[in-house]
Amino acid sequence: MPTDKHASETGVTGNQQPKLATVWPGNPYPLGASYDGAGTNFSLFSEIAEKVELCLIDDAGAESRIPLDEVDGYVWHAYLPNISPGQRYGFRVYGPFDPAAGHRCDPSKLLLDPYGKAFHGDFTFGQALFSYDMKAVRPGGDDADPGTPPMVDSLGHTMTSVVSNPFFDWGSDRSPLTPYHETVIYEAHVKGMTQTHPGIPAELRGTYAGLAHPVIIDHLKSLNVTALELMPVHQFMHDSRLLDLGLRNYWGYNTFGFFAPHNQYAANRSSSVAEFKSMVRSLHEANIEVILDVVYNHTAEGNHLGPTINFRGIDNAAYYRLVDTDLRLYKDYTGTGNSLNPRHPHVLQLIMDSLRYWVTEMHVDGFRFDLAATLARELHDVDRLSAFFDLVQQDPIVSQVKLIAEPWDVGEGGYQVGNFPGLWTEWNGKYRDTVRDYWRGEPATLGEFASRLTGSSDLYEATGRRPSASINFVTAHDGFTLNDLVSYNEKHNLANGEDNRDGESHNRSWNCGVEGPTDDPEILALRRRQMRNFWATLMLSQGTPMIAHGDELGRTQNGNNNVYCQDSELSWMDWSLVDKNSDLLAFARKVTTLRKTHPVFRRRRFFEGEPIRTGDEVRDIAWLNPSSREMTHEDWGESIHKCVAVFLNGEAITAPNARGERVVDDSFLMCFNAGEEPVEFVMPNDDYAQEWTVELDTNDPTGDADQVVNAKAKVSLPGHSLLVLRKTM
């Protein structure tokens, strides 16, 4: 609420002179525009500003400028009674334009609120968005010195911030709080997941409301998904280069509004906040958590030749990491042109305020941090003791939600898998690479495959973390789909307009004999088997599994492993595959149910390789060669070995359940053959089991099998296949 009861009348300046507006001093915190039911408090941080104007935009696009005369700790602020949700606004910041000193203030630019909760309109790319003479830039040149800005007003060419209504009826909403060891993550794109689904009304396709539709929720529940990880939904910009090529920034890793849900994903763009909240509420009712893929490492403003839309014009040197020897230029640890500067307290504040806002106001359940190593860089090196980690650790709100790191960036020393602090889980890139290599038959992969299958203790145990710290995945948005992983050896990205230079070239993929589409029934059968192998391996590994949307349907991107700019059928889920690939979908549902039903596949603690009781012969885990003898050091070191069996003892689960009760499960034997030829596996002796029942067979299109196998019996396992047996006697 406003604190000054003695309102003053302050004149408002602008191209059109409106009537006098009531302006109270207001408060420096919270930052941004905060509506309290009677009026709105506006505040903006800028250490370099000499003057700041709040600009109110009416329905006709006319501007009224209000000087912000109150400044506390470099925060400029005012309270305006009777300003209510829906009011469009922006800021103009007056100060030095001196790129050589790192400053780029340009009052001709209507700047978006870094704390804006909603935005209106679109960008019109042209001179008005840029603080240098675009005609003076040489094609292909860097032109680090822009000269004097041409002072072309951006009003009418840029988006505007919008005062948001904070009030919403959440009812009895609460977070599912699913424990990590029970979590199954499904990575999805709001538009890609819903755009072509025939069961969603046309007006809701591609939207938050579409994602909350019962047909989507039912599909997720059928896969036993407990958490929906959404690709970026913070308000983002489409790059002018892509728009010129007829493309769009489909993935959304180009944020400028860290508090606003992307309004192009709303059925009604003017109610994006309420629609997002309704989506979260519906997913929570289905016991599905919502995790956001967030991009706090860079912004949409790009490098020194990018547009001026907010941070650059507000306080360039505070918000961005600049090159020490040339402050005109930006450090780029992200491959996008700039890097945010989390060493600055107000940038850290923005990140933490944003995270808290999405938890407390939008009710999300966790975050996946894109290129998280960038946030951990203090001077240049990645530092696990950085201020960002300290703030997260002590924050009573952010520290209690799921925190997932993409533990790398593109800078030197940026690959940090296994090195994040104890609160964090990580996308385990080593799991992805190893599992891919193993199933394509690469030599000398068996030992590391065993480590990845059992939770990657070599990466996480020493720092006190559990198997669930490993976010296991075979595919994600970045790279081949699962179908393409078994259908292409090379990327096919010509549609992206970069002459196939973009995207990862070393994909660890195998096309099974022919590049791309084929009618060969043997190759098609092998590809399907390989997809089942990946599904079974992912779901039966210790750790937290993540599914890439559409892999359960055999979705293809025609070999394009970098569809960041493809907002088309190439990237969207093809729901007609539900019928065409019903056997793969049925297998995915079967193996996720197997994981859900049996806690031995989702242990809370690492295996110890020891007997559970004195005198027992059988340990909690045992690795066996095809002859059922325990694997020796020499066996693991033999580069040509591609077969192994692993026994998981369901009676040796040492961690109790949430009520302190002992957990007892069935015991399982998993037999793997990544070689070309069939291998005969001998079942272990009676110490392990007298009788086994086949639960899963990837050589079977449906995975169904009820075959009973006795101890010491021989089972022939075809090449490129996996067999899961359950102890029944």
Cβ atoms of 573 and 554 closer than 8 Å:
no
Cβ atoms of 46 and 315 closer than 8 Å:
yes
Radius of gyration of the chain (CA): 28
CA 656 to each of CA 325, 599, 651, 665, 722: distance values in angstroms, whole numbers, following the listed order: 57, 11, 12, 12, 30
d(CA 265, CA 57): 24
d(CA 668, CA 683): 12
- Which tokens sit at 659? 């009520």
**H/E element, 354:** helix 345-360
The CATH 2.60.40.1180 domain(s) of the chain lie at 601-727
Q: What is the pTM of this model?
A: 0.95
> Given the structure tokens 């970026």, which residue do they identify?
232
Interstrand relation of 289-294 and 366-369 (parallel, antiparallel or unpaired): parallel
Binned at pLDDT 50, 70 and 90, residue 255 comes out as very high
- Which tokens sit at 663? 């957990």
Number of Cβ within 10 Å of residue 712's Cβ equals: 12
Predicted confidence (pLDDT) per residue in 331-388, tens digit: 999 899 999 999 999 999 999 999 999 999 999 999 999 988 888 776 555 556 578 8
Number of Cβ within 10 Å of residue 494's Cβ equals: 11
d(CA 642, CA 349): 51
Name the 3-class secondary structure at 398: helix
pLDDT score of 614: 54
pLDDT score of 21: 65
Could you tell me which CATH number the domain at 8-162 has? Answer: 2.60.40.10
Cβ atoms of 197 and 215 closer than 8 Å:
yes
- Please name the fold of domain 183-256+264-291: Transcription Regulator spoIIAA (3.30.750)
- Which tokens sit at 468? 């669930």
pLDDT score of 378: 65
pLDDT score of 263: 97
| pLDDT at 4 > cutoff 80 | no
CA 3 to each of CA 7, 24, 28, 80, 81: distance values in angstroms, whole numbers, following the listed order: 10, 9, 11, 12, 12
CA 367 to each of CA 338, 424, 478, 494: distance values in angstroms, whole numbers, following the listed order: 22, 10, 17, 32
Answer with the residue of higher pLDDT: 21 or 471: 471
Backbone angles phi, psi at 403, to 5 degrees: -120, 115
Cβ atoms of 59 and 16 closer than 8 Å:
no
Number of Cβ within 10 Å of residue 9's Cβ equals: 9
The CATH 2.60.40.10 domain(s) of the chain lie at 8-162
Predicted confidence (pLDDT) per residue in 67-79, tens digit: 999 999 999 999 9
User: How many residues does the structure list for the chain?
Assistant: 729
Predicted confidence (pLDDT) per residue in 121-167, tens digit: 999 999 999 999 988 876 555 666 667 889 999 999 999 999 999 99
Binned at pLDDT 50, 70 and 90, residue 1 comes out as very low
Predicted confidence (pLDDT) per residue in 104-119, tens digit: 999 999 999 999 999 9
Binned at pLDDT 50, 70 and 90, residue 58 comes out as very high
Predicted confidence (pLDDT) per residue in 623-649, tens digit: 999 999 999 999 998 888 899 999 999
Q: Which CATH class is domain 601-727?
A: mainly beta
Q: Is the dihedral of CA 108, 109, 115, 120 positive or negative?
A: positive
The type of residue at 617 is E
Catalytic residue (one of 289, 406, 478, 484): 406
Binned at pLDDT 50, 70 and 90, residue 702 comes out as confident
DSSP letter string, 46-64:
-SS-SEEEEEEE-TTS-EE
pLDDT score of 44: 99
Binned at pLDDT 50, 70 and 90, residue 616 comes out as low
Omega cis (within 30) before 30: yes
Mean pLDDT of 502-518: 98
Catalytic residue (one of 275, 293, 301, 370): 370
Based on the residue annotation, tell me whether 406 is a catalytic residue of this protein: yes
Predicted confidence (pLDDT) per residue in 280-321, tens digit: 999 999 999 999 999 999 999 999 999 999 999 999 999 999
The CATH 3.30.750 domain(s) of the chain lie at 183-256+264-291
Cβ atoms of 714 and 665 closer than 8 Å:
no
- Which tokens sit at 564? 């960041």
Cβ atoms of 650 and 668 closer than 8 Å:
yes
Half-sphere exposure of 294 (CA within 13 A, CB side): 28
Q: Is 153 exposed, middle or buried (0-12, 13-18, 19+ CB in 10 A)?
A: middle
Predicted confidence (pLDDT) per residue in 644-688, tens digit: 999 999 999 999 999 999 999 999 999 999 999 999 999 999 999
Residue 40: which of 63, 52, 23 has the closest Cα? 23
Mean pLDDT of 426-452: 97
Q: Is 339 exposed, middle or buried (0-12, 13-18, 19+ CB in 10 A)?
A: buried
